[in-house]
Structures are given as structure tokens and as C-alpha cells.
Amino acid sequence: MAPIEAGRNARIAVISDTHANILALDAALRDIHTAGVDSIIHLGDAIGFGPRPAECLDRLLTTRSLIQLMGNHDSWCIKGDAGPGKPAGIMDHLGWTWAQVNPAHRDSMENWPYCLDMDAHGFHAVFQHYALDTSGKDFQEIKRPPSRDLYDSMFGRPEARAVFFGHDHIPSDTAGPPCRYLDPGSLGTGPDPVVRLLLVTFNGGAMTVEPRAVPCDREPLWQDFEDLKVPGRTEIRTRFFT
């Protein structure tokens, strides 16, 4: 995808890792629309783990001014392969998830970019799911703890003043100079009954960031897992929601 231009005074929302949780996605979109933004950028992993992959894809693909980037779960779905080393229960779940994704979803997903560059009146920002490996079509292993030197070496974008990424699920804000690295945290998973997102304002070559944590009741989500008999739901709830 070619770099996109943002106006001198642009306001965007950044979300990531919805993971097929339609309740969390809808809560985020309500908050974003109330706040008012010019565009929404989703940093990947629309699906995986949650009970509503098709519904989340429908919502993301029909939300006005939303740009969807590729995540590892999205890429696995397209390829029908998650690679080696996944527990049997997780593989059963991934197979179930991929079966919910219809051909129209797949056609769109195949065109999702791995990286987006934005120029906001001289402020260069980069958006991607996580640091890419040498193939440019897969992601590096998650590395912690966050540090500027670590992210400088991983992302390798010296021209950027901000890099927004997800995948790690844990919110973080690692300041430069010259580059600031921001992870909004997972929208659809995590131990707390909140939806995490960032509201970002570019103003005359500067950037301000407002992290938001929107309350979201988890009980309907647990009921969805049971009603739909989602494979691997017990392991998923233990690993990704506690």
C-alpha cells in the first residue's frame, strides 16, 4: 500500500487484535464514533480465539474509513496453515475459525497490507501488526521487555517518528527520541473487562495520544463460547482471558 496522507489536523483511532470478539469490537466502535475520528486503523488479528469470526469480519469490512492490516491469525486463515508447534486444542479451534470465514471474506483478506505508512503534515507514522521477518510475509517472535533499542532493531524504520503495533496484547508506550513505539493492547482478549484503543491526533507536525479503556461486560462472551460450542474454549479462556 502506498503511503497515505493525513491532514494537518487529523484524528484517528488505532485498534488491534479483535480476535473474533464482536462484543468488544462493537464497544470500541461506539466509543470511537462518539469521539469522532477521520479514520480507524486496525493493526491485524481480526479473527482467532473468539466465537464470532465472520461477524467481526463483516463489521470491519463495512465500517466507513477503516483500514485493516494483516495479522498472523488473518494470514494463517488465508494459507490454511498455522505452522508447527500449536497444541491440538488450539489447532481444532483454528480449523473451526477458518471454516466460518466465507469466500468473500477471504478475497478481501488476501489484499490486506502488512504495513501502512502515513504522513501527517511532516509527521511520519508507521502501522503494522508486529515486526516482520526477512520474508516480509510473517512476523518475528514476540520480544520483551519493551525498549527503544529493541524496537529500533526490530522495526528498522529510522524515518518514522511513531510506530504503532499489536500482537503482544499488552499495552505499551515506549518513547524515543527519535521514534515512539505504541501498542494499544488487545481489543478482544486480556484479563480485564475493558476494550483498549488509542485516539491519536496529529496537529501541525506533532502527535498526541489518548489511551482509552472502555468497559465491556464479559458474561455474554462466555455464553457465546458455550452456545456455539467453540472448540478449545476452555483452554482459550484460561490462556488469553486470565
Which residue ranges form the domains of the chain, and what is each CATH number?
4-240 (3.60.21.10)
Poorest-confidence range of 141-145, 147-151, 175-179, 188-192? 175-179
Residues 6+ apart with CB under 8 A from 161: 123, 124, 125, 176, 178, 179, 180, 207
Confidence tier at 176 by pLDDT (50, 70, 90): confident
Q: What is the mean pLDDT of residues 98-113?
A: 97
198/212 Cα distance (integer angstroms): 6
Return mean pLDDT, the chain: 95
Mean pLDDT score, 3-31: 92
179-191 pLDDT per residue, tens: 999 999 999 999 9
Cis peptide leading into 193, omega within 30 of 0? no
Confidence of residue 2 (pLDDT cuts 50, 70, 90): low
On the question of pLDDT at 122 being above 90, the answer is: no
Q: Omega into 178 within 30° of 0, i.e. cis?
A: yes
**Helix, strand or coil for residue 58?**
helix
Look at residue 232 in the predicted model and tell me its pLDDT: 95
Which residues in 190-226 are b (16+ Cβ under 10 Å) and which e? beeebbbbbbbbbeeeebeeeebebebebeebeebbe
C-alpha 136/C-alpha 196 separation (Å) is 27
Q: Does residue 23 surpass a pLDDT of 70? A: yes
The predicted structure's pLDDT at residue 7: 66
Q: What is the pLDDT of residue 189?
A: 98
98: cell is 477458518
